[in-house]
Amino acid sequence: MWQAEQVRQRLAALYPGMALNVLGLPGPADRGAHFAGAARTTMIRDLESAMAEGRADLAVHALKNLPSDVSPGYTIAGITAREDPRDAFVSQRFRSLDEMPDGAVLGTSSQRRHAQLRERHPALVVKALRGDIEARLRALDSGRCDALIVAASSLKRAGHASRIGALLEPDVSLPAPGQGALAIECRADRPELVAALAPLADRATTLATAAERAFSRVLGGAATAPLAAYAEWEEGALWLRGLIASPTNGCVLRGERDAAVDDVEGAEALGRDLADELLSRGAAKLLSHTR
Residues of the chain with CATH 3.40.190.10: 1-80+181-201, 87-168
How confident is the model at residue 246, as a pLDDT?
81
Average pLDDT of the chain?
90
| pLDDT for 270 | 98
Helical axes 264-280 vs 203-218, angle rounded to 10°: 30
Per-residue pLDDT at 33 = 45
- The sign one gets for the Cα dihedral 125, 130, 133, 138 is negative
- Give the per-residue SS3 of the chain: CHHHHHHHHHHHHHCCCCCCCCCCCCCCHHHCCCCCCHHHHHHHHHHHHHHHCCCCCCEEEEHHHCCCCCCCCEEEEEECCCCCCCEEEECCCCCCHHHCCCCCEEEECCHHHHHHHHHHCCCCEEEECCCCHHHHHHHHHCCCCCEEEEEHHHHHHCCCHHHCCEEECCCCCCCCCCCCCEEEEEECCCHHHHHHHHHHCCHHHHHHHHHHHHHHHHCCCCCCCCEEEEEEEECCEEEEEEEEECCCCCCEEEEEEEECCCCHHHHHHHHHHHHHHHHHCCHHHHHHCCC
The tens digit of pLDDT for each residue in 154-179 reads 899 888 999 999 999 999 999 999 99
More confident residue, 146 or 131: 146
* Residue 158 pLDDT: 86
pTM above 0.75, yes or no: yes
- Position 290 scores a pLDDT of 52
Q: The CATH number of 87-168 is which of 3.20.20.70, 3.40.190.10, 3.50.50.60, 3.40.50.2300?
A: 3.40.190.10
Tell me which architecture the domain covering 202-291 has in CATH: 2-Layer Sandwich (3.30)
pLDDT at residue 288 is higher than 80? no
27 pLDDT higher than 50: yes
* pLDDT band at residue 287 using 50, 70 and 90 as cut-offs: low
pLDDT score of 43: 87
Residue ranges, CATH 3.30.160.40, the chain: 202-291
CATH superfamily label, 1-80+181-201: Periplasmic binding protein-like II (3.40.190.10)
